[in-house]
Structure 1
Amino acid sequence: MRLGVLDIGSNTGHLLVVDAHRGAAPTPAFKHKRPLRLAEHLDAAGAVTQQGIDALSDFVSRSLEVAEDKGCEEILGFATSAVRDASNSDDVLAHVLERTGVDIDVLPGEDEARLTFLAVRRWFGWSSGRLAVFDIGGGSLEIAGGGDEGPDVAWSLPLGAARLTRDHLREGRTPESVRELRKAVRAQIAHDAGKLLRGGAPDHAVATSKTFRSLARICGAAPSSDGIYVSRTLTSQALAEWLPKLADMDDAEIRELPGVSADRAHQMVAGALVAEAVLDIFDVPELEICPWALREGVILERLDQISQRDG
């Protein structure tokens, strides 16, 4: 069947059209995306602004047209932390529903981590043993770990690259602001790190998301043009060498680095601080980049539900 997966993230809205069949990997057929930057379209009360709501509604409306043009039989729509944490979340979703007829589900942070873990497990398989999975989004950091298809532990922290940039680096990246952000990030990650660490060192530590992919590319990983089956890693050593350089660059200079998109350049330092903390606090020398993440997890779970229904 052909599915449309509508992912309302904190940075970007994505429509992924896939051909999905039981027993086979979902095959991407078409992609449509638009920068939304919802994590930055918040007022002082933490509500999504009217500008952000209108941008979201326009994107969903256009995505519907694209999904129909591409022959999608079903659309799965979900939103993550930017909408989840907004003080006017219900109003935002009601506005989108009224404008477009699309009922967007809001994923709890734990479900976001769980579904990302599912995608990573299916990608790497059982030979990976006990997995530790990390995903830096625009609004949150998801962490999950375990030896089965579902994680033993899964949680979400408000440590997304866009959120941290908005809350801590809005006035610029001074040495003091970067140091204070580094301290705050590490304290939040370390607070619950024992959930994962009590199970012992993972057999395979994995990262997903655009932020981790960009950091890996900056640190020397293969470009996306080499294909999804090329192994890519982000090492703690390479990131430690690059982070001071990133902190000293302005946004225009970061934008010129390989793998960095123009609309995310201003977030790369915050994202790098989170990635550095993950590598250090969980004592993993490197993270392998997985091309599958939350959207694929949503698709795989839906296929499992169809399989169970049809027996």
Structure 2
Amino acid sequence: MRLGVIDVGSNTVHLLVVDAHPGASPVPYHSERSVLRLMRYLDADGAITEEGVVRIVDAIRRAVETIAEIGVDDVIPTATSAIREAANGEEVLARITRETGVELRVLSGEDEARITMLAVRRWLGWSAGEVLLFDIGGGSFEIAQGADEYPDVQVSLPLGAGRSTINFLAEDPPPREAVSRLRAHARAEFTRVREELFSDRPRPKRVVGTSKTIRSLARLIGGPSDPETGDLAQLHYAGLKEWEPSLRSMPGSVREYLPGITPERGYQIMAGAVVLRTAMKVFGVSTLTISPWALREGIVLRYIDALDGRGAEPVSALMGSPA
């Protein structure tokens, strides 16, 4: 079965086409992205501007054209924090459906965490035991922990790399004081959720990071194996701390030429580094294992599970079995 996943995030509209079958790992067939940077298209009221909506619609149209050329058995269209938290999110969704024919399924932050944990667990295998997961998007930062395919506890915070850049590090490059304010805010948020939700959890056997931001930082710092293939690549707290002053001193237009940093990430990688390092410090993490599988792979896996009579775990935005 060939499946297409359209993922509308804060930074990109990403189309992933895979060949997938029950009991087997999904095999990538095609992948393409359209850069959005939606955090730059929010007005003072938190609504996506007309220019931002046009960019989303155009990107989805291109994805639909590609799907038509390739030919797929089914399409799973999803949206995450950028549209979920926009003041005019419902209007944007209605317009997307009207102009493209695509009806996006909006995932909650908790759903993102749960589906991503499913992908990470399948990639790691059961021997991984208790897993703590960090996932940085453009708009949100998800944390989840558990010893099963789905986490026992999860939380989503508005600390994505793009949102943190807009809210705290808008000046490019950012002054030291702005970085300190972001760090203090992130520390307070992570400390709160650690004490409220994670204090009674056992110490994780492995801490895993997903998302393009974390993979980019791992490649920049230099893990022991290839972050692009995800072959147990790692990101170390010490390396992140060492690189932070250099990232702060560079404008985004220079950062994008660093190893692993793509143009759409250059402006926000500093905020991503600050938020991730703060999370690692608050949760006492010295090393992250980098997973190549994340939300999109989890969506595919859950779809296939439903076909195979599995997937009873309730995830609000993906409840029904596929037709």
| TM-score under structure 1 length normalisation | 0.96
List structure 1 segments (4+ residues) > 3 angstroms apart after TM superposition: none
Structure 2 residue aligned with 1:220, among 218, 222, 243?
Answer: 222
Q: Distance in 1 between matches of 2:46 and 2:145?
A: 31
Aligned AA (2:213): T
Matching of residue 36 in structure 1 with residue 33 in structure 2:
no
Q: CA deviation at 1:229?
A: 5.0
Alignment RMSD: 1.4
Q: Secondary structure at the match of 2:78?
A: strand
Q: 1:223 to 1:60 in 2, by over 3 A?
A: farther
Matching of residue 242 in structure 1 with residue 248 in structure 2:
no
Range that drifts further, 51-60 or 215-224: 215-224
Indicate the residue corresponding to 2:124 in structure 1.
Answer: 124
Q: Deviations over 1:148-191 (max 9, x none)?
A: 11100011000000001111111330011111111111111111
Matching of residue 286 in structure 1 with residue 287 in structure 2:
yes
Indicate the residue corresponding to 1:271 in structure 2.
Answer: 272
Indicate the residue corresponding to 1:187 in structure 2.
Answer: 188
Q: CA deviation at 1:228?
A: 1.5
Paired-residue identity, %: 46
Indicate the residue corresponding to 2:75 in structure 1.
Answer: 75
Q: Secondary structure at the match of 2:149?
A: coil
Q: CA deviation at 1:227?
A: 5.6
Q: Distance in 1 between matches of 2:193 and 2:139?
A: 18
Q: Secondary structure at the match of 2:208?
A: strand
Structure 2 residue aligned with 1:199, among 191, 198, 201?
Answer: 201
Q: 5+ unaligned residues in a row in structure 2: which ranges? A: 310-320
Q: Distance in 2 between matches of 1:58 and 1:274?
A: 31
Contact 1:79–1:104 (CA<8 Å) still a contact in 2?
yes
Contact 1:222–1:230 (CA<8 Å) still a contact in 2?
no
Q: Deviations over 1:89-110 (max 9, x none)?
A: 0000000000011100110000
Contact 2:224–2:234 (CA<8 Å) still a contact in 1?
no
Contact 1:217–1:223 (CA<8 Å) still a contact in 2?
no
Q: Deviations over 1:252-274 (max 9, x none)?
A: 33122100001110101100011
Q: Secondary structure at the match of 1:133?
A: strand
Indicate the residue corresponding to 2:253 in structure 1.
Answer: 252
Q: 5+ unaligned residues in a row in structure 1: which ranges? A: none
Q: Secondary structure at the match of 1:16?
A: strand
Aligned AA (1:210): K
Indicate the residue corresponding to 1:94 in structure 2.
Answer: 94
Q: Secondary structure at the match of 2:268?
A: helix
Q: Distance in 2 between matches of 1:184 and 1:247?
A: 17
Q: CA deviation at 1:222?
A: 6.2
**Structure 2 counterparts to residues 33-182 of structure 1, below 5 A:** 33-172=33-172, 173-182=174-183
Aligned AA (1:49): T
